[in-house]
Amino acid sequence: MLLITATALLAPLLVRPLVPRLPGTTGLLVRAHAVAGVRRTAAVAAPVLVTVALAGSLLGATATLDEAGAAEVRQRTAADFVVTDVAEGALEELRRVPGAVAYPSAATAVYALEDGVALVRSPARAVAPEALAGTVRLPVVAGRAADLDDGSIIVNQEWAEHRVGRSVRVWLGDGTPRTLRVAAVLATGTGDNGAYVTAANAGGADLDRVDVRVRAGADPAAVASGLRAVDGVRVWSRQEWVGASHPATGRTTRLGTLLVLGIALLYTGIALANTLVMGAAERGRDLAALRLAGATGGQVLRWAAAEALTVVAVGAVLGLAVTVVDLAGMAGALGLLSAPVTVVVPWAPLGWTTGACALVAVTAAVLPTGRALRKSPDTTVT
């Protein structure tokens, strides 16, 4: 919002260099009129700037975060297949599949007391130490994931105590208190890099996932067929698992974003229509002078439409500039968190938003201009 406000305040200074030099007489008139009335031009461009910048920043921010989370999933997943809905007894059948190496794990949680007052819950996964090397690529920034054992834990940089070799007091998922040594530290990332413990510290969590690697020389298709032959399980290929784990924006966030953008678009429509209608009423003498100079009614209408589109384009460019600066700041923040950086610019919503602004602006410019053309130019000038 600070970027949007600052750019809107500077719009009168930015209009002159941003208004393009269009070809032809109409283009010359459009630029001359827009530059001569920079305050009026800025007043029309400002609501377009607000709407485009909001659409690009809000939608681009959520899309960039989602893409960063998806990139983390792709980087972490090294298994060839992921098996879920593992019923009791199915693990042994999975291990008997020729060419498959199965690594079971369970979702759990650990709790740590920070500052003596806050009991913080951290999602965790209980795994066998050898599974970390076989099926998971962890973003380790200190220590070694291979050092994980029943007396240690892997944490991330968000933990209050995240120095390798130091002891942390935690409560397991079933409430059992334990003191564990920090074996390794993971990057903060987008917040999905949880803790890792061994099965001894799972806190009674049940098996919910089996990562499978294909042995060297084995046929992946045959392994997949053997895994799917086990009753009561669901088998995902690596690509399917990554796709299914792609982070998605929550329903509440989507509704909130759409509400903000809807209000902004409504405000833009009112502001554009109000400014352009008042502007058309004030330049009746300009229109009459154009007609007395030989311009036809169609040429005057095209001039009014071209000027409206040009000013909308100026606002859209300023809004896009705000979006780029905003998303660049987010990219820098993700980089500081050691998260994958993939900036996503929501081109489609930006195009729809700009198109809606252009439609309102052309309508609000052409209709009053058409009414003004019904008057005699001689009478208007007199």
Running along the chain, 382 residues long, what does each successive block of 10 average in pLDDT? Answer: 88 81 70 74 86 91 88 86 86 90 90 84 89 83 91 92 92 92 91 87 87 90 91 89 78 82 83 75 63 66 82 92 94 88 90 91 81 59 50
* Residue that the structure tokens 């681009």 belong to: 60
Per-residue confidence (pLDDT) for residue 287, from 0 to 100: 63
Tell me how many domains the chain contains. 2
> Do 240 and 194 fall into the same domain?
yes
> Do 169 and 314 fall into the same domain?
no
Per-residue confidence (pLDDT) for residue 269, from 0 to 100: 82
> Do 176 and 272 fall into the same domain?
no
> Do 200 and 254 fall into the same domain?
no
R_g over Cα of the chain: 31
- Final residue in a domain of this structure, among 223, 244, 265: 244
Geometric angle at alpha carbon 40, from 34 and 44, rounded to 5°: 95
Structure token pair of residue 114: 């920070």
Around 48, how many Cα atoms within 13 Å sit in the side-chain half-sphere?
Answer: 32
Closest Cα partner for 367 from 321, 313, 308, 315?
Answer: 308
> Do 98 and 200 fall into the same domain?
yes
> Do 157 and 209 fall into the same domain?
yes
Per-residue confidence (pLDDT) for residue 328, from 0 to 100: 94
d(CA 38, CA 27): 17
Per-residue confidence (pLDDT) for residue 82, from 0 to 100: 92
> Do 117 and 226 fall into the same domain?
yes
- Final residue in a domain of this structure, among 244, 260, 293: 244
**H helices present in the chain, as ranges:** 2-18, 24-36, 38-76, 90-95, 129-135, 220-228, 238-244, 251-282, 284-292, 297-336, 347-372, 377-381
> Do 284 and 161 fall into the same domain?
no
> Do 239 and 253 fall into the same domain?
no
Q: Could you list the residue range(s) of the whole structural domain that residue 321 is in? A: 2-72+249-381
> Do 117 and 206 fall into the same domain?
yes
- Final residue in a domain of this structure, among 244, 264, 292: 244
User: How many Cβ atoms are within 10 Å of 27's Cβ, its own excluded?
Assistant: 15
> Do 141 and 159 fall into the same domain?
yes
> Do 120 and 133 fall into the same domain?
yes
pTM: predicted TM-score of the whole model, two decimal places: 0.75
Strands 118-127 and 195-197: parallel
